[in-house]
Chains A and B, each alone.
Chain A
Amino acid sequence: MTAFIIRRLLQAVMVLLVTSVIVFVGVYAIGDPLEILLPADATPAERAQVTRTLGLDQPLPVQYFGFLMRALQGDLGTSFVYNQPAVQVILQRLPATLELAFCALLLALMIGIPLGLLAGLRPGTRTEETVMTGSILGFSLPNFWQGMMLIMIFAVMLGWLPSTGRGRTGTVLGIETSLATMDGIRHLILPALNLALAKIALVIRLTRTGVQETMPLDFIKFARARGLSGRRIVSVHVMKNIMIPIITVLGIEFGSLIAFAVVTETIFAWPGIGKLIIDSINILDRPVVVAYILVIVAMFITINLIVDILYSVLDPRIRGKR
């Protein structure tokens, strides 16, 4: 196991290195930040001076090499806009997004698995039809539209929940979170639900398919022949088998929840990194874009590693093969 983790960490470094090249070159290609940073009436002298301070007068390989050297010391550049280290800008916003994504994931599991079980265990019934139709809606209706409908219904018409912002945050174990206050939780419900809807639909389908594939297997029939209760068969024998694909997919999806929380954050004015990256791309704040992508890649790698470790917890056949 230790050797496996070390090997994976080395792979992770390679992936980060390759990503940094691609991103750096890509960002270099999309335009000149000076056009946006400088006022239209800037003199050539001012122009040359800003270009030098930002290091934009150097050839690309030199810029990249300098970036790499600084990155190894934990410095991913300074935001042109905020005039703060890019990493710091991102890390300030990251907890809000992580919190949102984590709650969405939890909702997806808590709502998706029971509904998926319900549909999977009653094939061909009205119950299954209803659940599956619901999941198709969750999949196919555009996310932003779902968000607006949530606001319309729960914030405007019923007035139960606030529609924008993060509300009051508190600190739990040194982390700033909305979950610490009632107001924060009320603010979190709608955006988290919005982000979760498509994932709930996904979990429902994964669970239902898993149940329907597992139920006809011999070991389920053998479990029944041993006199086990239906409850035990479903909660232990079926669940432990179908958790493997669910964990796989949600591992991948958790990354995308963070990376693509953009839409939800925009609709609900949630101060997370999704909104930050859109703004930074618009004004060509190169260091923030590069740092953002590297942070996201690092997060994907970490999540995948956790998923792989979870596999071996869930599936004894994988243990020891590493």
Chain B
Amino acid sequence: MLDLRELQTHFFTPAGVVKAVDGVSLTVNRGEIVGLVGESGSGKSITGFSIIGLVDPPGRNVGGQILFNGEDLLGAPERRLRQLRGNRIAMIFQDPMMTLNPVLSIRTHMVETVLAHEKVGRAEALRRSVEALEMVGIPDAARRIESYPHEFSGGMRQRVAIAIALLHRPDLIIADEPTTALDVTIQAQILAQVQKLCRELGMGLIWISHDLGVVAGLADRVAVMYAGKIVEQGPVDEVLDHPRHPYTQGLVNSAPLANERGKPLRQIRGAAPPPLQRPQGCAFRTRCDHATDRCLQEPPESEGVHRWRCFHPRNMEGRA
């Protein structure tokens, strides 16, 4: 359904061109949950915004294709993109405290979203909104819809945002770290709910996160981003149990586990390179224990379901 091919989004800043997304290829099928993992600045959020054409200047899509149900969205006019946004492709943002307009009621938010894409009466729009709120587990939805954002907790607001995303039964939802700002119990509830809704409604979901643990429990496939590129992708168990790229391996190893209590946590040495000073060739080589002169060349992506971009893939069972 969604097929990103060599997507490139660059930011033209006075200091130079930042290649935030630098050749990302990724597919998402109906009913499939894809986790897009990476640290801050890896380009995962920009990838999400690029798909719905919401990259603000000085950012620009400079290359590749975004095939959505066969239609290339990259050259599509703004009018067409607006028809799709919130309708066929919905988005959920990171901070539920910030995504709803504080001076408008939940009802205003929801009704206007319905009316933006369908010619129905206000009563019908309201009925559908209440139905969507019930679907995400908001009790007493018909009354609560009159509330304002500040009258809801963070978890409830994120449920509202999800309900808004579901209003038009989209083909694809892009969720940008939607549970990062929530506490763990709420996070678990929302994850379960989202997973269930995706399966029931046959929606594709891109779950952008820096939390491997969350993605492990939720996604069917995972793609790991580093410095604007997907360095490894494949079925979630495959990638997390047998990571081939040293960066993925580092991520997996740096997650704290209960049975390793007391031992120092393993971290990836160094820090991600500033976006304007990425190393030539493999961007990870300056932090990699296995880098050689060959890594000065750009590693190509391997073939198959489980793919990686590395000249020296690790062959390991679980944790190193």
CB within 8 Å of B: which residues of A? 217-219, 221-229, 232, 236-237, 240-241, 244, 314-317
Let me know if B85 is at the binding interface, CB within 8 A: yes
Contact B104 A227 (CB under 8 A): no
A-B contact pairs, 15 of them (CB 8 A): A218-B93, A222-B99, A224-B85, A225-B86, A225-B91, A227-B84, A227-B86, A228-B112, A236-B108, A236-B112, A240-B103, A316-B102, A317-B102, A317-B103, A317-B150
Inter-chain contacts of B103 with A (CB < 8 A): 240-241, 244, 314-317
Q: Which residues of A contact B148 (CB under 8 A)?
A: 316-317
> Which residues on A sit within 8 Å (CB–CB) of B100?
219, 222
CB distance from A309 to the nearest CB of B (A): 16
Q: Which residue of A lies closest to B101 (CB)?
A: A219
Q: Which residue of A lies closest to B84 (CB)?
A: A227
Whether A228 and B54, one on each chain, are in contact in the complex, defined by CB atoms closer than 8 angstroms, is: no
* Closest A-B pairs by Cβ, 9 of them: A227-B86, A226-B86, A218-B98, A227-B85, A316-B148, A225-B91, A222-B99, A219-B101, A226-B113
Complex CA–CA separation, A11 to B95 (angstroms): 41
B85 and chain A: residue at smallest CB distance: A227
Cβ-based interface call for B153 (8 A): no
Contacts of A316 in B (CB 8 A): 102-103, 105, 148, 150
Per the bound structure, the CA–CA distance linking A227 and B87 in Å amounts to: 7
A314 surroundings in chain B (CB, below 8 A)? 103
Contact, CB under 8 Å: A226 / B164: yes
Given A224-B54, A225-B52, A315-B102, 12 more A-B residue pairs with CB atoms under 8 Å apart are A219-B102, A222-B91, A222-B93, A226-B85, A226-B116, A227-B84, A227-B113, A229-B116, A236-B108, A240-B103, A244-B103, A314-B103
Which residues of chain B are within 8 angstroms of A225 by Cβ–Cβ distance?
52, 54, 85-86, 90-91, 93
Closest CB in chain A relative to B78 CB, distance in Å:
9
Cβ-defined contact, A219 with B99, below 8 A: yes
- What separation, in Å, do the CA atoms of A241 and B93 have in the docked complex? 20
Chain B contacts for A237, CB-based, 8 A: 101, 104
Judged by a CB distance under 8 angstroms, whether B21 is at the interface is: no
Q: CA A28 – CA B178 in complex, angstroms?
A: 68
Task: For B87, list chain A residues within 8 Å (CB).
Answer: 227
- Number of A-B pairs, beta carbon distance below 8 Å: 75
Q: Which residues of B contact A226 (CB under 8 A)?
A: 85-86, 90, 112-113, 116, 164
**Interfacial chain B residues near A224, Cβ < 8 Å:** 54, 85
CB distance from A214 to the nearest CB of B (A): 9
**Residues of B within 8 A of A (CB-CB), count:** 29
For residues 61 through 87 of chain B, which have their beta carbon under 8 Å from a beta carbon of chain A? 82-87
A318 to B85 alpha-carbon distance, docked (Å): 33
In the complex, chain A residues whose CB is within 8 Å of the CB of B101: 219, 223, 237, 240-241
State which of B52, B98, B105 has its C-beta within 8 Å of the C-beta of A219: B98
Task: Kindly state the separation between the CA atoms of A241 and B86 in the bound complex, as whole angstroms.
Answer: 23
Q: Is B30 an interface residue (CB 8 A)?
A: no
Contacts of A218 in B (CB 8 A): 93, 95, 98-99
Given the complex, which residues of B lie within 8 Å of A315, measured CB to CB? 102-103
A241 and B54 CA atoms in complex are apart in Å by 22
CB distance from B21 to the nearest CB of A (A): 17
**From residue A320, how far is it (CB to closest CB) to chain B in Å?**
9
Residue of B nearest to A216 (CB): B56
Output the least CB separation between B105 and chain A (Å): 7
**B117 in the interface (beta carbon within 8 A):** yes
Docked complex Cα distance between A232 and B108 (Å) = 12
- B162 within 8 Å of A by Cβ? no
Nearest A residue to B174, CB-CB: A225
Chain A residue with minimal CB distance to B88? A227
Q: Give A250 Cβ to nearest chain B Cβ, in Å.
A: 18
Bound together, the chains give a CA A316 to CA B108 distance in angstroms of: 13
Closest A-chain residue to B48, C-beta based?
A: A225
Once bound together, how far apart are the Cα atoms of A219 and B106, in whole Å?
Answer: 13
Which residue in chain A gives the minimum CB-CB distance to B110? A226
| A225 to B82 CA separation, bound complex (whole angstroms) | 8
Q: Shortest Cβ distance from B228 into chain A, in angstroms?
A: 21
Cα A98 to Cα B108 with chains together (Å): 37
User: Which of chain B's residues has its CB closest to A240's CB?
Assistant: B103
Q: In whole angstroms, what is the CA distance A222 to B108 when docked? A: 14
Shortest distance in angstroms between B177's beta carbon and chain A's nearest beta carbon? 12
Q: A228–B52 Cα gap in the complex (Å)?
A: 13
Instruction: Report the bound CA distance from A223 to B150 in whole Å.
Output: 17
Is B52's CB under 8 angstroms from A240's CB? no
Say yes or no for B161: interface residue by CB 8 A criterion: yes
Question: Within the assembled complex, what's the spacing in Å between the Cα atoms of A222 and B148?
Answer: 16
Closest to A243 in B: B103
Q: Which residues of A contact B93 (CB under 8 A)?
A: 218, 221-222, 225
B310 to chain A, nearest CB (A): 34
Per-residue A-contact encoding for B38-54, CB less than 8 Å = 1, 0 else: 00000000000000101
Distance A227 CA – B116 CA, assembled complex (angstroms): 7
For B91, what are the chain A residues with a Cβ–Cβ distance below 8 Å?
A: 222, 225
**Cβ distance B135 to chain A, nearest Cβ, rounded Å:** 17
Complex: A219 Cα to B91 Cα, angstroms: 12
B262 → chain A closest CB, angstroms: 40
Q: B90-138: which have CB < 8 Å to A? A: 90-91, 93, 95, 98-105, 108, 112-113, 116-117
